[in-house]
Every structure is written in C-alpha cells, then in structure tokens.
Amino acid sequence: MTALEQYKIQREELIKLDRSLRRDHQVTSLSAAEAEADQIIRKIRAAEATSIWSLDYPSIPHPFPGMEFLTGREIIVKTKLFEILSRMPKGALLHAHLDGMVNVSILLKLALKYPSIHVRAPKSLTTQNIDAVAPEFLPLPKNEYPKSALGLTETSYQPNSWVPIQVAREQFHPDLGGPQGFDRWVTRALTINPSEAYGTHNTSVKIWKKFGSTFLVGGNLTRYAPILEDYIKEFFHSSIEDGISYVEPRVNFMSKTVIMADGTRVHHRELMVIYDRVIREVKEEMKRRGREGEFIGARIIYSTVRFCDNKELEWYLQDCIALKKEFPHLIAGFDLVGHEDELYPLIYYAETLLRFPAMQKEAGVEIPFIFHAGETLGDGTVADMNLYDAILMGTKRIGHGFSLVKHPELLKICKERDIAVEVCPISNEILRLTSSMLTHPLPILLNHGIHVALCSDDPSVFGNMGLTFDYFQVLVASEQTGLIQLGEMAKDSIKYSTLEAHLREEALGLWQKQWHKFLEYVIAVGKEALPSN
C-alpha cells in the first residue's frame, strides 16, 4: 500500500468518526430508494447552485443558496428543489406561535367578513406618513359602532376614531392606492419586509421592535372568536398541504384572551373549545377526503410572556393546570415567550417555576416545560444563561437554543437527557441572529449529535408558510446535509413531540408510508430532470 493509500484510509476513518454523531450517519441501512433519492437531490442542488443561483436578478444584487430569505424568496419558489421539498412529509411542527400562522391576505379576507371589525389610526393617513403609521383593529360591540365614519385618509379624519374595516378599505384614497393600498398598508404592518430586515432594522434589537408590533396589530383579529375558528382551520389545512401531520403551537394566554362575536372579552378557555372543535372538524374532513393519515391532530403549548411578575406567573401556572384537567389531550406543555434579550430571564421566575412540579402532582397532571432559551447572540448574557435554567428545570425541548453551541456541557446534557432543539432557521435569519443560512449554527448542532426539529416560528410575519422554506434553506446551505438528514429531522419532530407513545408510533408509521411515496416521486422527478441519471 502506498503512503497515499494509507493516508486516505486514515482520512476516511477520521471523517467517519467526526461525522458519527450525525443522525444521517447513524442510519445503518439505507434503502436503495433512499440512496437514489438522496443522490438525485444532491445533483439537482448542485445544478441549481450554478444555473439558478448564479443568474443576474435585477432586484437581487447577491443571490446565493441560503441567502437572506426575504430577498431570495422569489428565486427559491422557482427552483425544482423547492417544488420537490413541498411534497416531502415533514412530520410535526413543534415551534410555532398560533397568532403567526396564517397568511396575512387570508387573515385580512377573514376580517373583512365581519362588520364588527373596526380600524383606526392615530392620524389621517397621507402618502408621507403612511409607512410610519400602523392600523389598530378592534371588533366592537354593536352599541359602540360609530354613527358615521370618515375614511382614514380623509383630511378631516378624527385621530383614533373607529371606522368599519370595509368602509376604511373602500374609502382609502386613490393617491394611497385605494382598496389595494389599504391591503398593502395592513400587510406591511403585519409582516416584515426586506428593506426593514436588511435595511432600516438590520439589528436584532431593531427588528424585534417591528416584529413585536406585528402581533399588536394582528392580535385583536386573531383573538376574535369568529375569525379564530376559521384561522385555526386555515392553519391546520395549510400545514397538512405542506406535509405537516401534527402541530404543537404556542398560544400566548392572557387573562382575557378571546374576544367573542359580540365584542365581549372572555377567558381563553373559549379558545380551547374552539381549537378542540376545529381539530375534530378537520379530522372529519380529512377522513371524508380519504386522507385520514395526513392529520394526526394538534395540541397547544400554554405560554405567557416574560413580562409578567411572579405573582401573575403563579396565576398562569394554576390556570394552565386547570386547562390541562379540562383538556388533557390539548395542553402539551408550558413556556414563557417574548424577546429574551430584553425581558425577564428564567432565573427571575425560578422560585415560582420550581413549585410547578409539586402543583402538577397535587392536581394529578403532567405538563412538561418546553422553554424558549438562548434565542440570542449574547455570550454570557442573561438570555444566553436561560439555557442553564431551561435545562436545570427539566425542559423537554429547547425552543431555538441558538446559543446552545457555545455550551459544551449543555450540549452533552442534551445528548444524555435526549433534549431536542426546535430550530427556526428563517426566523433566526430575519430576526438577525444570522445574516444568512450559511452562518447559522444548525450544522454544529447536527454534527454534535443533537436532535433537531425544524420549525417555522411565525410564518405569517416572515412569509415562510409551512415548513418547506425552512427545509429548503437548510438543504441548500450545506454539502453535508442531504435528504436522509431532512428525513431524520422530520422523524425527530414526531419523536420529540408530546404525543403519547402509541400516537407517536402511529404517526411515525404514517410518516414512513408517506416517505416511501415521496421517495418514489423524487426518483421519478430525477428520471425526468436528470436523464443521464
């Protein structure tokens, strides 16, 4: 054997060892179909990296695979790879916020159905101020409907006076685009656009301000019971169409979360009732369509925002237990949400949170913590330190865990205790934790053997509806990751859900069937797209 041959054997061994913690390298028996489909995906990725991504686009100065999502989106949707991934079965969606799940244009359409929905602005809108002024929505009780109302763009519009949404839309001044201008104005307030993410708000701190404002604008629409029902339905259906079979969104609960049809505010128990009903309806509908296996169901991670104090948190914990008792099949866990860099850290709540296990025991329920932690660029900041507390308090999974890679001992514990990480690639990029997918820490997590579920976080704000976009960004930003790794992440999303063992098994079985069909489809695409294959 020559020195070079010997060297190459040694090299192969080292690479194998270095990769041995990866999920895709632990798959011992790859089926012929999997191997073939993986190769096809790699070939198409390589071909499109030069064909599609090296073209000149008038409005995109620096196209590259894994680029800034809001700018690259229009290229992504043209790729074969995107088309293929949209057909992939993706398992469960484990990190998402209910109020950020439905396409803004659909939400707007829903809102326009209800005469009770009113809108106002702090001043009369003009071409000069429109980009800086956001709408405020509210479903009003009938007795509070305004007697008469001037459009928001009238010079004599009374600041902060309510206008029926239909009137506001129809009377939107032609100089501001008329009704379409109204839609654009609302859409702009409910989403993050590229010039904000990559221009005016191009730091984590700044973009979070815009991010937070989208929920303030949309909150009174999504919390309105008549809309909520259709909203949840749309969320489930669009998820199913994207190959997601189970969802476990976080819902931010406040003491009076839901606005009823008549404008009164009620306890969020009502949301649970609606959620439960919609699950049943969608399941029945899927059954009618002969697509039963495609929707396992949905739960909710009870969440409240990290600005409450410990006394309020105590109330939320009790409330969460009460809901769990009434809806044991719906409450999946408990979390604290909001901008970690700016709000209270977990340690602030430690005393209260440490009592939660005993409270559960007393009530005879089990509600795992599923904490957001380490969604930050900080190194040793309180947000980064949240990871210690999340893990010490026994979190079942870690939401984001962006800074987890900085913690060797925590990585070890995550492996030992089988704590999965909910990674939200596009969210992290738009919220400026990473400038593109190429600098995202996901490969570090995967290579260190951490179980990962890819998640969309708030697609209505980011435009990454479903999970296809997130899978796409991950796939094109790495030479290492291929179809097998994507499949492992989809499986892990089911394995690390809060579904009971038998439901998990069922879901995995169904996923496996869909996966085989998907592989056949990829191979068929490969035959067509890569005739030399």
Question: Could you say which DSSP state residue 223 is in?
Answer: T
Minimum distance, C-beta of residue 383 to a second copy, in the bound complex (Å): 10
Closest approach, Cβ 344 to a second copy, in A, equals: 16
- Please, which residue, 247 or 483, has the CB nearer to a second copy? 483
Q: Which is nearer to a second copy, 11 or 361 (CB)?
A: 11
Asked if residues 170 and 179 have their Cβ atoms less than 8 Å apart, the reply is yes
**Min CB(434)–a second copy separation in Å:** 6
Kind and range of the H or E element at 331? Answer: strand 331-337
Pick between residue 61 and residue 531 the one whose CB is nearest to a second copy: 61
Please say whether the beta carbons of 235 and 101 come within 8 A: yes
Q: How far is the CB of 35 from a second copy (least distance, A)?
A: 17
Phi, psi values for residue 220, rounded to 5°? -75, -10
Of 403 and 514, nearer to a second copy (C-beta) is: 403
- Minimal distance in Å, beta carbon 16 to a second copy? 9
- Helix boundaries (H) for 393-464: 408-416, 425-430, 442-447, 459-462
Closest approach, Cβ 432 to a second copy, in A, equals 8
How many Cα atoms occupy the beta-carbon half-sphere of 12 within 13 Å?
5
103, 465 Cβ separation under 8 angstroms = yes
CA distance 453 to 488: 9
Contact between 395 and 428 under an 8 Å Cβ cutoff? The reply is no
Shortest approach of a second copy to residue 146 CB, angstroms? 41
Q: Which is nearer to a second copy, 409 or 528 (CB)?
A: 409
Q: Is the Cβ of residue 133 or residue 393 nearer to a second copy in the bound state?
A: 393
Can you list the positions of beta strands (E) in 107-180? 117-120, 136-139, 163-164
- Closest contact distance (angstroms) between CB of 200 and a second copy is 8
Return residues touching a second copy (CB under 8 A): 3-4, 7-8, 10-11, 14-15, 17-18, 20-21, 61-62, 64, 200, 202-203, 205-206, 347, 350-351, 354-355, 377-381, 384-385, 388-389, 391-392, 405-410, 433-435, 438-439, 443-444, 447-449, 477-481
**What is the chain's length?**
533
By the 8 A CB rule, do 242 and 90 touch? yes
Closer to a second copy by Cβ: residue 213 or 381: 381
Q: How far apart are CA 319 and CA 313, in angstroms?
A: 10
Taking the least distance from each CB to a second copy, the nearer of 338 and 443 is: 443
3-class SS string, 292-330: HHHCCEECEEEEEECCCCHHHHHHHHHHHHHHHHHCCCC
